[in-house]
């Protein structure tokens, strides 16, 4: 075990370093039963109901990019994290940390985008906070959002519920958000055709849950990408997962950008995609429900959950079109800081 003595960029990667920080520091200090499953939202009892609650901070740079801005990601990210529990997302909070000198017209545009995105999701932004720090002490605008919603009776989703024989679906092309952001940075404007996929997926998740009521879990593969999400499921459930590379939808431009930059598309962030694990008997219905939603047109069945190859293993394997197999690892270190 590596001993961390100071915070490094990789601690915010969504991958292995961040998981280590959470497991060995935050969970040690804050351990609560509701936090232990490691899902994107905590589900807690309140007044006879079950409430899903989640929070997320947004530091993406640049704050404006093809397909959206930090405000759209700030609403979608939290809506999606709450929705993965199966909850009906109802209310959001928003906290702004602003740097002295930030243009008010840009802040207006971000706020307007947040209002439009919340309206699209059918959620209300009901409270917030504003802090301003001196010039040079932050980078323009950072946003924190939190969200709450009620979990319907009999809905009990968790990454720990995957079983051998289950089927893995993805709601569309992977890697779009990360590549859209990186293409805007550092003079890497090689492609203006790639747009962020940032989207609120609560309606899509509700559609899938209605069609496939025994769905095991949903997760939005944001930082750390599809590889990290599948590794989280495998570890939480004590299973292996096999993914067929040729069945995973990837845009040609995104694949080309990943080849050029040396990124593994399975580790690139998404902001408008969902991974679902469902029993085999409900996979066709889940796929049909995804494809009927505007954000799931390119949905696909990409793999299966299997028995662990060796007792105690939780390995994610990728079958390549050439017949070989490689291990799909959780993101180690940091690939793209400040991606969301």
Binding site for Mg ion (CB under 5 A): 40, 81, 220
> Residue 262 Cβ, how far from Mg ion at the closest point, in Å?
25
Smallest distance from the beta carbon of 50 to Mg ion, in angstroms? Answer: 19
- 118, with CB counted inside 10 A (0-12, 13-18, 19+), is buried
CB contact at 8 A, 339 and 181: yes
Burial label for 63, CB within 10 Å (0-12, 13-18, 19+), is buried
CB of 220 to Mg ion, least distance (A): 4
**Nearest CB to Mg ion, comparing residues 123 and 257:** 123
Residue nearest Mg ion by beta-carbon distance: 40
Are residues 319 and 325 in contact, defined by beta-carbon separation less than 8 angstroms? yes
- How many Å apart are CA 262 and CA 257, to the nearest integer? 8
Nearer to Mg ion, 220 or 334 (CB): 220
**Is the CB of 220 or the CB of 240 nearer to Mg ion?**
220
Q: Report residue 105 as tokens.
A: 């017209």
Cβ at position 307, least distance to Mg ion in Å = 27
Least separation, in Å, of the C-beta of 166 and Mg ion? 20
What is the per-residue DSSP string for 66-100?
Answer: TTEEHHHHHHHHHHHHHHTTT-EEEEEEEEEEEET
Between 82 and 179, CB nearer to Mg ion: 82
DSSP strand E in the chain: where? 42-46, 49-58, 64-65, 68-69, 88-99, 124-133, 141-150, 167-170, 217-219, 240-244, 275-278, 300-306, 316-319, 325-327
Nearest distance in Å: CB 219, Mg ion: 6
CA angle 294, 123, 149 (to 5 degrees): 105
- Tokens 């292996």 belong to which residue? 240
Three-state SS at 37: coil
Give 258 or 269: the residue with its C-beta nearer to Mg ion. Answer: 269
Least Å distance between CB 53 and Mg ion? 13
Q: Measured from the CB atom, is 27 or 138 closer to Mg ion?
A: 27
Nearer to Mg ion, 39 or 166 (CB): 39
């Amino acid at each position: 075990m590596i001993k961390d003595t100071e915070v490094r960029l990789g601690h915010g990667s969504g991958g292995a370093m961040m998981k280590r920080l959470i497991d060995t520091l935050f969970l040690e200090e804050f351990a609560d039963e509701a936090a232990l499953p490691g899902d994107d939202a905590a589900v807690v009892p309140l007044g006879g109901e079950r409430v899903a609650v989640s929070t997320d901070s947004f530091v993406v740079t640049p704050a404006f990019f093809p397909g959206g801005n930090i405000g759209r990601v700030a609403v979608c990210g939290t809506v999606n994290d709450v929705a993965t529990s199966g909850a009906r997302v109802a209310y959001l909070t928003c906290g702004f940390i602003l740097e002295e000198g930030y243009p008010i017209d840009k802040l207006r545009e971000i706020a307007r985008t947040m209002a439009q995105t919340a309206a699209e999701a059918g959620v209300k932004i009901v409270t917030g906070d504003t802090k301003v720090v001196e010039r040079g002490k932050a980078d323009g605008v950072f946003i924190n959002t939190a969200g709450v919603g009620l979990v319907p009776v009999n809905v009990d989703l968790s990454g720990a519920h995957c079983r051998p024989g289950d089927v893995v679906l993805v709601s569309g092309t992977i890697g779009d958000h990360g590549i859209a952001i990186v293409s805007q940075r550092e003079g890497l404007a090689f492609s203006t055709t790639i747009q962020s996929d940032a989207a609120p997926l609560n309606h899509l998740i509700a559609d899938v849950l209605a069609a496939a009521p025994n769905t095991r879990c949903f997760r939005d593969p944001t930082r750390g990408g599809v590889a990290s999400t599948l590794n989280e499921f495998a570890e939480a459930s004590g299973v292996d997962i096999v993914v067929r590379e040729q069945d995973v939808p990837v845009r040609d431009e995104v694949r080309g950008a990943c080849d050029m930059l040396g990124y593994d598309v399975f580790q690139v962030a998404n902001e408008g995609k969902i991974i679902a694990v469902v029993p085999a008997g409900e996979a066709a219905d889940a796929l049909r429900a995804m494809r009927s939603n505007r954000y799931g047109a390119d949905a696909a069945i990409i793999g299966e959950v299997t028995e662990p190859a060796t007792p105690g293993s939780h390995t994610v394997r990728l079958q390549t079109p050439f017949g070989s197999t490689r291990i799909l690892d959780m993101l180690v270190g940091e690939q793209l800081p400040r991606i969301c």
